[in-house]
Structure 1
Amino acid sequence: MSVIRIYQIISELDLNRQKFMSLKLENESVDSSIYAKVFEGNVGTDNLDQIYLIFNVNHPKDFLGHSLSISDVIEIEGSPKSSFYFCNTFGFLEINFDTTKVSNAQLIKTVIVEADKPPYEKYLLNDERAFLIELGNKVEKMQSHDNLCCYYNKDKNLFVASGEEGSYVSLNSLQAKQIKEQFHSRLNEEIKSQAASHTLQMY
């Protein structure tokens, strides 16, 4: 089976709001500069419908994106060249896609906690601005002593792992699991009340 690659739009680069928008014409060119590669590997099939099912029902462990949806691009490696398919409203359209322009932006795993909702994992651009955009207005930040950082407001909480010198890295599997278990059914106010010993910074 061929190697496949999945590309998804990075919201912070999507100035024209192309994410989740459909295409009308086959072989249309897509602006690859707003996309990042979120998977590369072999999933045991070259069938587009089966690939779509795999990336919606049974994500590979090294998949860094959200479930496949409209505007995502599937590359099926071939000889002498690869084929690229745009996930459209109904089915797929073969498109022109320049991989040399794909963003090299780093995506990292975070955990999002919202009131009365099960916590969930989400990959975001490794940039504090992306965290602030995800949460919206009136965001505060708290830093724990176990290399975790939480950005939050009254509606939503975002957890990410702290790296060296103020940088950020992906949560590992254990960290993500512990956060989701701890905050599975708690309201935002309960989360904030546990932050008494943390350093708060208003943005």
Structure 2
Amino acid sequence: MRVKIYQINSNRDKAHFRFSNLAETTKLMQGNGVDSSLYDEVFNAELGTGDLEEIYTKFNIERHPLHRGDSLSVSDVVVTDQGAYFCDSSGFEKIDFDESKTQKPDDLMRVLYVEPGKVPYEAEIRNTLEGMQRAVCDGLIEPIFMDDGCVLVGNEEAKLLGMKRTIRHFSKAKATASPRWMWTMICRSTRMRATVWVLRRVCKKVSDFVWTFKSTVYILLVERRLTV
């Protein structure tokens, strides 16, 4: 399910609405509801749940690699397929919320995001080193440059950290280790080119994307052999 999270931008919040509950916000707005123009989009991605309490736990206690904001708190707005919900002092309240009036940073970069066991989907991350590191779960990035200009980016230490693989890869080249060592992001083989083609069929117009993977290689197959 596609889930979006919006938080009030402190620079535009002259009346200090942030962290106010819905009753206080409605009173300050003289009954006119929530002012959507104060909000910035801080998350827009696929989640395995649409349950608001589960979303609250995930974004208040845990962290998602594509989340660009602060911990989910009072006055934040969560948008799901069922509508927009205001994070109140206790629980969530459904509200009218105009997403077209919200804003988001100018330095965002569109990516095709691939998580283990999930269908790849289009997302946005900050076009910075920190943004890419965050997207691969706060690790050192490992870029692999494709012949057609696409770049695969993943966590360089994924194997050491025990992260789940995104795509199981088998190369025609002779390897000095068993197939379980051959991880995603090995690019110089027919199989990987085929994988890229399949992913492109899933998401349209991705020729200018940076492909961000949650898992990547610790061991790279470099044309001739697998280095352990």
Structure with the greater alpha carbon radius of gyration: 2
Q: Compare the two structures and name the one with the higher strand fraction.
A: 1
